[in-house]
Amino acid sequence: MGQLVLGILASGRGSNYLAIQKAIDQGELAAKVAIVITDKPNAGVLSLTGSTPACCINPKEYASKHDFEQALADKLKEYGVELVVLAGFMRILTADFIQNFPGRILNIHPALLPSFPGLDAQGQAVRYGVKVSGCTVHFVDEGMDTGPIILQTPVPVLPTDTGETLAARILVAEHDTYKQAIAMFASGQLEIKGSQVIFKNEGVK
């Protein structure tokens, strides 16, 4: 099996990127990260990329969202990206962008979707009082944290949790869940049927 070519989009510290890169380096994932792109000039992820190509595409330097997304898509294509991996990328992508990579964009969200979409999902979970939250890897559509769900990992919410302590525990689950979901994509196991993802090899969702 060949290596799946990944393009990572990240806005922040980049721990999910690092977990993916480590899984590749350790031979757990038949993929390679061709390019890491951030939309924030000072994003922490830029200090983690080592010899992997990385750049900032700053929306402030573009006249419109359309032009910014065009630059993103052009860069990803320039590097031959087959799967776009959103790893803490804090922007909603339009249908125009998404159609460049149909069924080839993944996102991770720190809650069990469809509960608690949007910002501060971990704080939302603590404030609501749920006893279990977790993380979700899903295909991206034009909605916010919508799109067909691939994998979810539950994480207990403790009575003493704050948004921060819960976020730290969920993050550990995120790293493993993202790796698994990318591996499933890489091995051709995932099929999108309507709003659902089917695992082809098992014939179950």
Kindly tell me which of 46 and 198 has the beta carbon lying closer to ligand GRF. 46
State the residues that interact with ligand GRF by CB under 6 A.
Answer: 10, 12-16, 87-88, 108-110, 171, 174
Backbone angles phi, psi at 53, to 5 degrees: -55, 135
Residues identified as active-site: 109
Backbone angles phi, psi at 142, to 5 degrees: -80, -5
Q: What is the widest separation between alpha-carbon atoms in the chain?
A: 48
Structure-token pair, residue 160:
């003493």
Kindly tell me which of 76 and 85 has the beta carbon lying closer to ligand GRF. 85
At position 177, the amino acid (one-letter code) is T
- Nearest of 35, 41, 26, 23 to residue 180 by alpha carbon: 23
- Which residue sits closest to ligand GRF, CB atoms considered? 88
Closest contact distance (angstroms) between CB of 202 and ligand GRF is 26
Closest contact distance (angstroms) between CB of 13 and ligand GRF is 4
Kindly tell me which of 59 and 70 has the beta carbon lying closer to ligand GRF. 59
Distances (CA, A) of 90 to 40, 65, 72, 86: 10, 14, 14, 9
Kindly tell me which of 48 and 198 has the beta carbon lying closer to ligand GRF. 48
Residues in the chain: 205
